[in-house]
A and B are shown apart, each in its own frame.
Chain A
Amino acid sequence: MGNLEAMKPFPDSEEMEISFGPQHPATHGVLRVMVKLDGERIVDAKPVIGYLHRGTEKIFERETYNGAIPHTDRMDYTAAATNNQGLVGAVEKMMGITVPPRAAYIRMILAELQRIASHTIWLGTHALDIGAQSPFFYTFEEREKILDLYEEYCGARLTLNAMRVGGQPYDLPEGWSGRCRTFIDQFPARIAEWERLLTTNRIWKLRTVGVGVISAENAVEWGLTGPPLRGSGVKWDIRKVFPYDHYDDIDFEIPIGGNGDTYDRYLVRMEEMRQSVRIVQQCLARLPEGPVMAKVPKVIKPPKGELYFSVEGPKGELGYYVVSEGGANPYRLHVRPACFINLQALPEMVRGQLVADLIAVIGTLDIVLGEIDR
């Protein structure tokens, strides 16, 4: 970020320390950022976390594997389906269970709908942080339709608990795939609408282009995943690199950006929504018949050992590290949260920029404090 001393307009000016959060309109929950300011320019920013710590990883240790699934819902509460997918995937891989194809396809549909839902929240709140109010309501209207689909499938809207070790607890209800297709088919038009509002807007561009830049090397070194990594131009997506479920049968692209700024991350996420639409369309077209649950023992006891399994969540790589002693409860179940690791890059991205950019960068990192603090 250059020489900070040289950037100071008044070399002997005093620095002001200001605490953004944990109660602040733009910190997406309870993030607290201790910001050192020189006028409006950020000298240093230090995220302070832990205000939403619930000890989820410790709770996992006393749960059965299926009983741990509802707790994963509450980590990244905007993306419950992908959280479930990661945990059940890890346990299935450990036990060597092959999920019936129909269940795997249902999982992919749920996960991609969740990606769209999570990105719509991101777009709404990000735009709201930057000052555009209306997209917040437009995106939430679309998200509501996805939540209706979820409610119809599993009975919950937010904390889905929609996957089990070995398959899916329920089959799709009658007519569900038709309604899902109706939603998916009209969705690209809505994306285009939001893009008309923002993509070419000069104020939006002024606020996002060149803001919160992180180079590809830096992004890799900080361990960023998901859209923040792809916005910097690194083509890395767990769905392509280590395909799980049936993602290797599906035809989709991984959008990448070039400059690693907020605008590129915005474009990447918009394109990801379109790709998710494509994936859901293909899944619905290929949805095989058959059972949705594999034969699994009543009490799930993975063999002794340890295993890391990750899925591509909406926010980035969501990994589960399971250590089993062979019992019904995990000995240790560690989560690699995407938001937590993406948040690390915040000071790097905002140093030397203005207060308003801090807000834009918090928005573009798409953090969910439930996952960061766990």
Chain B
Amino acid sequence: MANPWVAFLLVPLVKIVVILGVVILLAAYLSFFERKILAYMQIRIGPNRVGPRGWLQPIADALKLFVKEDILPSRAEKLVYMLGPVLVTAPALVVFSVIPFGTGFTLFGAQVTPYLTDVNIGILFILGVSSVGVYGIILGGWASNNKFSLMGGLRSAAQLVSYEVPMGFSVVAVLLMANSLSLVKIVEAQKSAGVWFVFPGLVAFFIYFVCGVAETNRNPFDLPEAESELVAGFHTEYSGMKFAFYFLAEYANMIVISSIATVLFLGGWLPPFPSWLAGVWASPVFTWIPPVIWNAGWFVVKVFAFLFVYIWFRGTFPRYRFDQLMALGWKVFIPVSLVNLVAVALGVLLIGGPR
């Protein structure tokens, strides 16, 4: 790729379009999967009227939200009210720029990587950008001039700030094992270690996932939008496309959390037990699959497993109360993640992690 225009403008642009398209479509379809899976757990069928077996339901929903009246509460803080959904959605989508979906491959003679960029501080970038999202929630809740929204926004701010800490600590445990902040390097470290980090970092994995559920405001931590308490929480007053953006951001955030969990703990695009079962994965049963499909396939399977667990949680658990949520975050997860961090550090020191 001699031409710098192609290397620095065209290829990234194409990648951005592809990633954005896939993520937005996936987020829309995630709502469909959620409704279907929840319905099946609740002995119902779920949406099945639009298109064959309901497969066009997300499209219909999006169309409906497009044509819906966009209500602006008369005494709302107009600018902030409109800024809210943007501030929530943009970070959720930006994060996908550093998530690696597979290893590089050659296309038309050019080396292509199936991710937008590999920042050497990738995980910091993710933590930094994704915490901007809370501003959208709290500002949207405040600007709606609705007491329920305000309470939802406040809850969300407190919840996201407190759960970011143990989440960060559990991520640090992985960083210690991988010795790198780059997401690609973290996956490669798991390849060279021959084991997914979920096994040495089981506690960190558990804490990360639970905090991730809390970060995305999902059941059993869905207090900011707790339907039976706060009607719809921070987005009570939102309608039309603004509501759709909040919705999109929530589902995109779920995919983000699942993707990061996949990369950090489940070996990203690697098949299970990459070194133990190396013989199995190299057998002709699998080698006919093009590597890009093979890698992305494993990635998607793992992400979907996480998403399924998300939805499963939602179908099963009651909701925590606000003070209990805080107590869980500060009194359980932070100490446990700190102790875990020390334990992992000692382990890395004694056994000698990847250098």
Contacts and interface: CB of A to CB of B under 8 A. Distances in A.
Contacts of B231: 24-25
A133 B41 CA distance: 10
Contacts of B44: 137
B322 interface: yes
B222 interface: yes
A134 B316 contact: yes
Interface string B140-160: 000000011001000000000
B43 A141 contact: yes
A356 B229 contact: yes
Given A16-B147, A24-B231, A133-B315, A207 B38 contact: no
B316 A138 contact: no
B321 interface: yes
Given A132-B316, A354-B323, A357-B321, A138 B228 contact: no
B42 A137 contact: yes
B35 to A, nearest CB: 12
Contact of B318 (A16, A24, A201): A201
B321 A134 contact: no
A170 interface: no
B39 to A, nearest CB: 9
A40 interface: yes
A311 B230 CA distance: 37
Given A25-B227, A133-B42, A207 B319 contact: yes
A204 interface: yes
A52 interface: no
A129 B319 CA distance: 9
Contacts of B222: 131
B133 to A, nearest CB: 23
B151 A355 contact: yes
B147 A131 contact: no
A128 B230 CA distance: 14
Interface size class on chain B is: 20 to 34
B318 A203 contact: yes
Contact of B317 (A18, A131, A354): A131
Contacts of A18: 147-148
A18 B219 CA distance: 25
B314 interface: yes
A128 to B, nearest CB: 7
A364 to B, nearest CB: 13
Contacts of A129: 228
A134 B219 contact: no
Instruction: Pick the most buried of A130, A197, A357: most chain B CB atoms within 10 A of its CB.
Output: A130
Nearest to A357: B321
A194 B219 CA distance: 19
Instruction: Pick the most buried of B38, B229, B315, B319: most chain A CB atoms within 10 A of its CB.
Output: B229
A137 B229 CA distance: 20
Interface string B307-335: 00000001111111111100000000000
Nearest to B324: A206
Nearest to A24: B231
B95 interface: no
B41 A134 contact: yes
A365 interface: no
Instruction: Pick the most buried of A25, A137, A356: most chain B CB atoms within 10 A of its CB.
Output: A356
A357 B323 CA distance: 11
Interface in A327-374: 354-357, 359
Interface in B218-240: 219-220, 222-223, 226-231
Given A16-B147, A133-B38, A133-B42, A355 B320 contact: no
A26 interface: yes
Contact of A138 (B38, B43, B320, B322): B43
Nearest to A41: B323
A280 interface: no
Contacts of A204: 318
A133 B222 CA distance: 13
Contacts of B151: 40, 355
Nearest to A204: B318
Interface in A114-134: 127-134
A293 B250 CA distance: 62
Contacts of A134: 41-42, 315-316
Nearest to B321: A356
B313 to A, nearest CB: 11
Interface in B30-74: 38, 41-44
A131 B223 CA distance: 10
Contacts of A356: 223, 226, 229, 319, 321-322
A133 B220 CA distance: 11
Instruction: Pick the most buried of A16, A18, A141, A204: most chain B CB atoms within 10 A of its CB.
Output: A18
Contact of A203 (B147, B226, B320, B322): B320
Contacts of B317: 131-132, 201, 203
A174 to B, nearest CB: 30
A67 B332 CA distance: 62
A207 B322 CA distance: 10
A117 B204 CA distance: 45
Contacts of A26: 227-229
B45 to A, nearest CB: 12
Interface in A4-25: 16, 18, 24-25
A133 B313 CA distance: 10
B42 A127 contact: no
B149 to A, nearest CB: 11
A284 B229 CA distance: 43
A130 B323 CA distance: 15
Contacts of A132: 316-319
Interface string A187-216: 000000000011001011011000000000
Given A25-B231, A131-B226, A206 B320 contact: yes
Interface of B: 38, 41-44, 147-148, 151, 219-220, 222-223, 226-231, 314-324
16 contacts: A25-B227, A25-B228, A127-B318, A128-B228, A130-B228, A131-B219, A131-B222, A131-B228, A134-B42, A137-B43, A137-B44, A203-B320, A354-B322, A354-B323, A355-B230, A356-B226
Interface of A: 16, 18, 24-26, 40, 127-134, 136-138, 141, 197-198, 201, 203-204, 206-207, 354-357, 359
